[in-house]
Amino acid sequence: MRYLLTLLLALPFLGYSQTKTPPFDPIQYVNPFIGTDGTGHTFPGPSHPFGLVQPGPDNADHSWAYTSGYQYKDTTLLGFSQTRLSGTGIPELGDVLLLPFTPGKESQARRMLKPTEKARVGYYAVTTSAQIQCELTCTPRVALHRYRYPKGTKAALMLDQGHGLRFLNDSLVISSAQYFPSKKRITGWARTRNWVKRYYAFCVELSSPWVRLEKTAKTGEQTSILSMHFGALPNRQLMVKVALSTTGIAGAKANLHAELPHWNFDQTVAECQAAWKKYLLRTSLIAPDSHRIKFYTAFYHLLLQPANIADVDGRYRGADDSVRLSSDKTYYSTLSIWDIYRTAFPLLQKLVPERVPGMLNSLLLHHEAAGFLPIWTAWGQDNYCMIGNHSIPMLVGAWKDGFLPHEGERIMRAIKETSLRSHPHSDWDLYLKHGFYPYDKVSNEAVSRSLETCLDDASVAMMATWLGDSSTAQQFRHRASFYRNLYDAESRQFRGKDSRNQWRTPFDPLTPTSPLNNPGDYTEANAWQYFWTPAQHDFPGLVALLGGENATEAKLDSFFSLPMKQANAYLGQEGLIGQYAHGNEPGHHVPWLYALLGKPEKSKSLIRRIIDENYGIGPNGLLGNDDCGQLSAWLMAAYLGMYPVYPASNQWLQLQALDYQATIRPFKREY
């Protein structure tokens, strides 16, 4: 069939020696404000690539709109916290909030002067209504703040350990402690409960000692707010280092001493930018500046997460809450797996291959600690968000690409155990008994969970085939075909069934559902949007189910033209073209499917339209949650002219839709 011939194996542009640095600086094309206005949910503060700390301003500490703590149009300032997620739909982290103020003018300290706000790679600055100039930068594990107070005022600094970015309204801090080894240092730890239950430790170091310290118990939290008052400050300036660790105070201290032994703010900014430039220079785009801004900012967003949460000595707190040692000194978390397996993670294999083994090993270490591969991790803990076990296609595709070449059996053991032993996210006895998840036996998302399980099972079958395990390959190929059990020939949709094999009635394929809003059979989508899920592992089978290529093309035509019934951003219905919602992940591969039917011009036209309507160069330049870089990764793939329709197979469809083609510059692939 035509579309089988258009899929290409791993692209040949990696594996060469380092080339000459291009005559332009990619840093100047990164705009950290892109995606901060609206539903992009990104943040403007500094970060290292895959950094543990990402300091920035928090305008609010709760609600869907403030999952990163920030909205561009909001001038409220709660303070500057040290950690956050990028582009997600649920808030988490927001640790150790700092707010500089002058006594008697606390309310003015909580307002930003918007015209003074600046952000570039490795640097953020804003002046408050109290005329305090605030600047932020960081190393991978240590935030560095620089505050300059107005002449003739008294300087003070608040530290709020009870602050956090949350979606629950009850208490965040379960327990905590604070210690004061000197008037220039504060250490402490906390256990918090929000999206996950977690532990963090911190070490704060001040450039000048306080002269008076006040402690106030925070209402509803098991911790206190600290107010530090200072005498005369040299140059009216106070600098603050904040080091964090998942393991303990000793780990936070070690991180601080190893990464930031000095107080040179400008040097820290320069070192952060150099770290970014190392990666951004691996690509090239010959295009007008507006396209370069879109492309390089997307690259920047792609590398913000996952975060390496291991200390400088390699110690980390694992899924079982025990402190362990990583042999390569990395342990990656903030793994938005349901989102990134589609495009972001395959791109990381091409762009930052030296990082990928650590990410894969982190998945396997999680399996060894928890008994199954992770679903969605934050700070090393699984929040079980979203559906499927998509660590499986990530591991399988990367192994096929040559990563962890001697760990095939270890990977096979992890993906089989995850797929055979029931755990809090998957009931395999129920699933295998019926050949799908019956909607009357699971709380919600029955159809989506069934369809996505088939993708994982197809990935296991691929791995077993490559390892010569024909019995396992046959077992999981059969399981991967279960999506056909939910195909309703009358509606030509995948439809919910109960445990008696009866279709759900009434059935409206246009109504989107979500487990957090209106529980139903689909995950932030409707039946039309989930129909194309099997195309990620068995497009020929899906074509056959529909009756051939012409019928499949007609179905795609209807998909991209049928009006949406309920366009609700909370249900992922953004960036709409007919039923296609680019602002959410389930359909990201669908525009490329025309090319697999031998109709590439239809794919090209859609790709160009999606970019024009969903990506910009201003704060509102992302329409939909960036979801730890997945929305940005789709844009990069479009510029690069390739897409991993089958993410577990290490196969890429090549299709150049744009007039300006990006390339990956040859560099030495070390891993």
620-650 pLDDT, tens digit per residue, is 999 999 999 999 999 999 999 999 999 999 8
Measure the CA–CA gap between 449 and 496, rounded to whole angstroms. Answer: 11
For the segment 483-498, the average pLDDT, to the nearest whole number, is 98
Q: Which of 281, 279, 402 is nearest to 352 (CA)?
A: 279
DSSP codes of every residue in 572-632? T--SEETTEETTSGGGTTGGGHHHHTT-HHHHHHHHHHHHHHHB-SSTT-BSS--TTTHHH
pLDDT in tens, 244-272: 999 999 999 999 999 999 999 999 999 99
The confidence score (pLDDT) of residue 170 equals 77
Token pair 């015209």 is found at 115
The confidence score (pLDDT) of residue 8 equals 40
Kindly list the domain boundaries of the chain, sorted by start residue: 1-21+287-302+508-527+539-671, 42-279, 427-499
Would the pLDDT of 516 be above 80? no
The confidence score (pLDDT) of residue 425 equals 82
Burial class (CB in 10 A: 0-12, 13-18, 19+), 262: exposed
Report how far apart the first and last C-alpha atoms of the chain are (Å, whole number).
36
The confidence score (pLDDT) of residue 129 equals 97
The confidence score (pLDDT) of residue 24 equals 80
Question: Between residues 529 and 517, which one has the greater pLDDT?
Answer: 529
pLDDT in tens, 538-590: 999 999 999 999 999 999 999 999 998 877 777 778 999 999 999 999 999 99
Question: Between residues 515 and 338, which one has the greater pLDDT?
Answer: 338
CATH topology of domain 42-279: Beta-galactosidase; Chain A, domain 5 (2.70.98)
Architecture of the 427-499 domain = Up-down Bundle (1.20)
Token pair for residue 26?
């990619």
Rounded to the nearest 10 degrees, how much is the dihedral formed by the CA atoms of 440, 446, 447, 453? Answer: -130
Tell me the pLDDT band of 9, cut-offs 50, 70 and 90: very low
The confidence score (pLDDT) of residue 73 equals 98
Q: Which of 13, 6, 105 is nearest to 350 (CA)?
A: 13
The confidence score (pLDDT) of residue 568 equals 79
Query: 3-state DSSP call for residue 215?
Result: strand
Tell me the pLDDT band of 7, cut-offs 50, 70 and 90: very low
Rounded to the nearest 10 degrees, how much is the dihedral formed by the CA atoms of 623, 625, 630, 634? Answer: -10
Would the pLDDT of 6 be above 60? no
Instruction: HSE, CB side, 13 Å, CA atoms: give it for residue 310.
Output: 19
Q: Which of 388, 398, 334 is nearest to 361 (CA)?
A: 398
Query: 3-state DSSP call for residue 547?
Result: coil
| Least-confidence region, from 281-295, 401-415, 516-530 | 516-530
Per DSSP, 234 falls in state: G
For the segment 485-491, the average pLDDT, to the nearest whole number, is 98
Averaged confidence pLDDT in the chain? 94
Question: Between residues 4 and 51, which one has the greater pLDDT?
Answer: 51
Share of the chain above pLDDT 90, in %: 90
Q: Which of 66, 89, 64, 94 is nearest to 79 (CA)?
A: 94
Q: Which of 139, 140, 115 is nearest to 128 (CA)?
A: 115
The confidence score (pLDDT) of residue 670 equals 64
For the segment 523-540, the average pLDDT, to the nearest whole number, is 97
For the segment 108-116, the average pLDDT, to the nearest whole number, is 97
Q: Which of 581, 541, 543, 539 is nearest to 560 (CA)?
A: 581
pLDDT in tens, 221-246: 999 999 999 988 999 999 999 999 99
Tell me the pLDDT band of 20, cut-offs 50, 70 and 90: low
Would the pLDDT of 430 be above 70? yes
Tell me the pLDDT band of 386, cut-offs 50, 70 and 90: very high
Would the pLDDT of 515 be above 90? no
Token pair for residue 223?
């911790």
For the segment 194-199, the average pLDDT, to the nearest whole number, is 96
Rg (CA), the chain: 25
Measure the CA–CA gap between 61 and 353, rounded to whole angstroms. Answer: 35
| Least-confidence region, from 89-103, 431-445, 502-516 | 502-516
Tell me the pLDDT band of 3, cut-offs 50, 70 and 90: very low
Tell me the pLDDT band of 329, cut-offs 50, 70 and 90: very high
The confidence score (pLDDT) of residue 2 equals 41
